């Protein structure tokens, strides 16, 4: 069997890192994308290599299309060198951020960045993947629990992830005849840099546990294991779905 290849965006830290490590454990070669933290991405690569896997790092500012195009040039060269073709099987659109603030305080620049990264970037990473992703491939878009329940400071972030849900549905419909599945994986609150300040505070921890069916704080591996299923052949009949992995938040 030929080795499957995955591109995971935002794999230098947090959920993307856990997903990259898990897909490597599943036997895939992984392109570890990073934005600013090259050293962290190289550490992920080293960790994969130390367990006998294959990985390499690629950089892009995901909110800028020119930077995404440059990333694909590097990716094409690396994949051609390593596999003989600029092709991959699994795209995990994970890079993203959550800006939290009251509606009254948003600037135009902040709003644009939230959407440029979480929606525009995801769209163009995917657009440029279409000629490179093999038939029967997998696209996994990171969504969020906040499209189902409400946290007042995260209205704009939630709207960006709502857009991701809609793109997932349309891409699944468009790409189905190639056997490519497209799903949103929607985490609840997970302990990463993104929200460590809140989740590791006594108040944040107490509120999260009180609103969660499963009484513990979610960890990156909880998401990576769900991503592993969505990236596998076992999920071949699951497409166009929003799969929430939140430990039953706000049920
Ligand atoms: N953690 C949660 O509770 C949670 C819940 C629901 C959804 N999510 C979603 O899950 C995804 C990952 O979240 P996380 O918690 O792992 O976040 P994180 O710990 O802040 O890590 C974010 C990752 O994305 C990359 N990134 C951020 N901005 C970027 C940019 N402008 N250009 C390129 N790369 C960029 C970072 O790369 P560098 O460090 O190299 O710059 C890093 O690898 C996001 O889409 C987030 O919205 C997270």
**Residues 185, 186, 187, 192: is their CA dihedral positive or negative?**
positive
Evaluate: CB of 98 within 6 angstroms of ligand 1: yes
Tell me the per-residue pLDDT of 143-198, one tens digit each, with 9 for 90 and over.
Answer: 999 999 999 999 999 999 999 999 999 999 999 999 999 999 999 999 999 998 89
* pLDDT > 70? residue 1: no
Evaluate: CB of 190 within 6 angstroms of ligand 1: yes
Q: How many CB atoms lie within 10 A of CB 42?
A: 16
Q: What is the pLDDT of residue 2?
A: 86
Tell me the per-residue pLDDT of 79-104, one tens digit each, with 9 for 90 and over.
Answer: 999 999 999 999 999 999 999 999 99
Please give the distance, rounded to the nearest whole angstrom, from the Cα atom of residue 94 to the centre of ligand 1. 7
192, 211 Cβ separation under 8 angstroms? no
The mean per-residue pLDDT over the stretch 200-218 comes to 96
Domain boundaries, the chain: 5-244
* Residue 100 in tokens: 């939290």
Q: What is the pLDDT of residue 78?
A: 98
**Which of 122, 142, 112 lies closest to 220 in space, CA to CA?**
142
% of the chain at pLDDT higher than 90: 98
Q: Whose CA is nearest to atom 29 of ligand 1?
A: 35
Q: Which of 64-73, 117-126, 193-202 has the lowest mean pLDDT?
A: 193-202
User: Backbone phi, then psi, for 97, in 5-degree steps?
Assistant: -145, 165
Within the chain, how many helices (H) and strands (E) appear? Answer: 9, 7
Please give the distance, rounded to the nearest whole angstrom, from the Cα atom of residue 2 to the centre of ligand 1. 30
Between CA 199 and CA 209 the distance in angstroms is: 10
Q: Whose CA is nearest to atom 36 of ligand 1?
A: 10
Evaluate: CB of 219 within 6 angstroms of ligand 1: no
Evaluate: CB of 144 within 6 angstroms of ligand 1: yes
Between CA 208 and CA 248 the distance in angstroms is: 11
Superfamily for domain range 5-244: NAD(P)-binding Rossmann-like Domain (3.40.50.720)
């Amino acid at each position: 069997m030929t080795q499957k290849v995955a591109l995971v965006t935002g794999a230098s830290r947090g959920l993307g890192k856990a997903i990259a490590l898990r897909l490597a454990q599943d036997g895939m070669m992984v392109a570890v994308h990073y934005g600013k933290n090259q050293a962290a991405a190289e550490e992920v690569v080293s960790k994969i290599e130390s367990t006998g896997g294959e990985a390499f790092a690629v950089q892009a500012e995901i909110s800028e299309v020119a930077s995404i195009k440059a990333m694909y040039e590097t990716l094409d060269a690396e994949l051609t060198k390593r596999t003989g073709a600029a092709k991959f099987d699994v795209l995990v659109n994970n890079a993203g951020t959550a800006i939290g603030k009251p509606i009254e305080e948003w600037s135009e620049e902040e709003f644009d960045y939230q959407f440029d990264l979480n929606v525009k970037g995801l769209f163009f990473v995917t657009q440029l993947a279409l000629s490179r992703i093999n038939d029967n491939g997998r696209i996994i878009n990171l969504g969020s629990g906040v499209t189902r329940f409400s946290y007042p400071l995260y209205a704009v972030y939630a709207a960006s992830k709502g857009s991701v849900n809609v793109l997932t549905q349309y891409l699944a419909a468009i790409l189905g005849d190639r056997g490519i599945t497209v799903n949103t994986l929607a985490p609840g609150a997970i302990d990463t840099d993104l929200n460590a300040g809140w989740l590791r505070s006594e108040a944040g921890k107490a509120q999260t546990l009180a609103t969660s069916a499963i009484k513990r704080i979610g960890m990156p591996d909880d998401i990576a294991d769900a991503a592993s299923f969505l990236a596998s052949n076992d999920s071949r009949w699951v497409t166009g779905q929003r799969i929430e992995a939140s430990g039953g938040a706000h049920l």
